[in-house]
Amino acid sequence: MGFARTCSVALVGVEGVVVEVQADLEPGVAAFTLVGLPDKSLTESRDRVRAAVVNSGAEWPQKKLTVGLSPASVPKSGSGFDLAVAAAVLGAAERIDPRVLPDIVMIGELGLDGRVRPVRGILPAVLAAAEAGYEQVVVPECAAAEASLVPGVSVLGVRSLRQLIAVLADEPVPEEEQDQPGRPDPLLAGLRMPGTGAATGMHSTGAAQHDQGHDLADVVGQESARTAVEVAAAGGHHLFLEGPPGAGKTMLAERLPAILPRLTRPESLEVTAVHSVAGLLPPGKPLIDVAPYCAPHHSATMQALVGGGPGIARPGAVSLAHRGVLFLDETPEFGSHVLDALRQPLEAGHVVIARSAGVVRFPARFLMVLAANPCPCGRFSQREDLCECPPSAVRRYQARLSGPLLDRVDLRVEVDRVTRGQLTGGGARDATATVADRVAAARARATARLTGTPWRSNSEVPGRELRSRWHAAPGALDEAERSLERGVLTARGLDRVLRVAWTVADLVGRDRPDARDVALALQLRTGVPRGVPMALGALT
């Protein structure tokens, strides 16, 4: 009788569980049994592994073979267990010394010819292995750079099962044929999930790639909207832009990711883990270090926006925009139930999806930007009479955005129609680099103040902490409290005004917000003029 064991990782969302892969050989009729709650793709590994072992020059054991995946109560899916199953079988057959296998975690799919193909979720799988105390992992060669992002782990990248056998058996490592330069690597086929490519609008891109050739200086006029974008970036506040078509709402949203600070190392690993599971890592760039940008079409379903799908749930747009920007253009055209599903992740910073196959948790700490026309024709305005829509149509259109959702949006700005003078004038406007420097300085002040707390930006700090731990200047909140008494603000709205006021104070360099900062925060939330200039420079 032969027995061997090694390890792999089962992913549930972006969280991993180390799975022990055990192989047992007994005398009897040749058979291959796989147990341990595998799904369909994992059950099919029996045929893939057998063909890969034979085509790699090793002998397939003609005995009763049982492969167990432990713990058996954890659902296991995908083809990433192939490499571990093959190694355990070869260890039980004594082609490989079984004593070298238990402390190694193996992740990878096997082709019928023995080549090792990459799978989605390499980074979170290696992170889970490192947290469980494992120091050696074997991954496909083309995914070794992604696995090497995890500190304290020795990574071995192999291109074929033949190479793995040679390394573990201390034999000369054979050279594998490389593909012709310039041709796409067939081993990378299948990494990208069908239906998430560029043509769908559901992909997300980093700010550096997305903002090529764009600059905030391209936006004409819109002083209040530009101020709101800067405040949103500095404090991580959600933003609602309402105005006629062609006024610059989409231009502002597209330029927002470029003024966000670069991701820290822990944030980069969080974002990269989500994109790895979704199969959306940029080619040749295993680590995402800039804020992602995701702009789904208004026909997106709830599963596409929040996450879900058949079997184990996949990350949606809210998770792909984690630590970045989620832009919902033509927001009233989204389904009302789809928009209301955003309320929980907006508050919690994560989304929990329960399915019959299991419960998964995805991070979803994003900056949301909503853009909408004021009416179906887009020309409704309190100052001009150009709208042809009946009042009932205007009310129905604006009512598509529920009050509870808008109550979670910190900044609401009306984007005015661009005038001829603004369009033809050559006035100087701050460029992206200039605004990004001010945002970085404001974030640095907030970070210094929040050191030793679990929060990273003003938008994350609970209202009770702002009221009890960090106090505004005396009398600064008088107008905001009167707005609460009149019903203009809810209790949540008052907390959000206070958060925005702290961000304004950080931008202008004050130690704590005064009455002017709170007045600007109120004006940005309610749209009602409060007698303060919209330009941040005028508040210093």
The H or E element containing residue 110 is strand 109-110
- CB 527, CB 409: distance < 8 Å: no
Query: Residue 199 — very low, low, confident or very high, per pLDDT cuts 50/70/90?
Result: very low
Say what the pLDDT of residue 355 is: 75
In tens, the pLDDT along 82-127 reads: 999 999 999 999 999 999 999 999 999 999 999 999 999 999 999 9
pLDDT of 283 over the 80 cut: no
Mean pLDDT across 342-368: 89
Say what the pLDDT of residue 382 is: 60
Say what the pLDDT of residue 280 is: 87
In 68-206, alpha helices (H): 82-92, 122-131, 144-147, 161-168
Say what the pLDDT of residue 202 is: 45
- CB 296, CB 266: distance < 8 Å: no
The CB density around residue 12, as the number of other CB atoms within 10 Å, is: 20
Say what the pLDDT of residue 526 is: 85
Alpha carbon 2 to its chain centroid, in Å, reads 44
Find the range with the poorest average confidence among 14-18, 321-325, 347-351, 534-538: 534-538
In tens, the pLDDT along 43-83 reads: 999 999 999 999 999 999 999 999 999 998 888 888 999 99
In tens, the pLDDT along 150-196 reads: 999 999 999 999 999 999 999 999 988 775 555 555 555 545 544 44
Mean pLDDT across 222-226: 87
Alpha carbon distances (Å) from 322 to 13, 125, 156, 254: 14, 19, 30, 16
In tens, the pLDDT along 298-311 reads: 999 999 999 987 76
- CB 481, CB 494: distance < 8 Å: yes
What is the reported pTM? Answer: 0.88
Say what the pLDDT of residue 200 is: 38
- CB 248, CB 219: distance < 8 Å: yes
pLDDT of 198 over the 80 cut: no
CB-based contacts of 289: which residues, under 8 Å, 6+ apart?
206, 262, 263, 268
Say what the pLDDT of residue 461 is: 92
- CB 413, CB 374: distance < 8 Å: no
Query: Residue 32 — very low, low, confident or very high, per pLDDT cuts 50/70/90?
Result: very high
* The residue to which tokens 């253009």 are assigned: 329
Mean pLDDT across 458-483: 89
In tens, the pLDDT along 376-429 reads: 888 787 666 678 888 898 889 988 999 889 989 999 998 888 776 777 766 667
In tens, the pLDDT along 4-19 reads: 999 999 998 899 999 9
Strands (DSSP E) found in 364-426: 367-372, 411-414
Mean pLDDT across 437-466: 92
404: its two tokens = 């509870």
Say what the pLDDT of residue 119 is: 92
Say what the pLDDT of residue 487 is: 86
Query: Residue 540 — very low, low, confident or very high, per pLDDT cuts 50/70/90?
Result: low
Mean pLDDT, the chain, integer: 87
Q: Which is more confident, 20 or 220?
A: 20
pLDDT of 513 over the 90 cut: yes
pLDDT of 480 over the 60 cut: yes
Under DSSP, is residue 4 helix (H, G, I), strand (E, B) or coil? strand
Find the range with the poorest average confidence among 126-140, 343-357, 373-387: 373-387
- Three-state SS across 235-251? HCCCEEEECCCCCCHHH
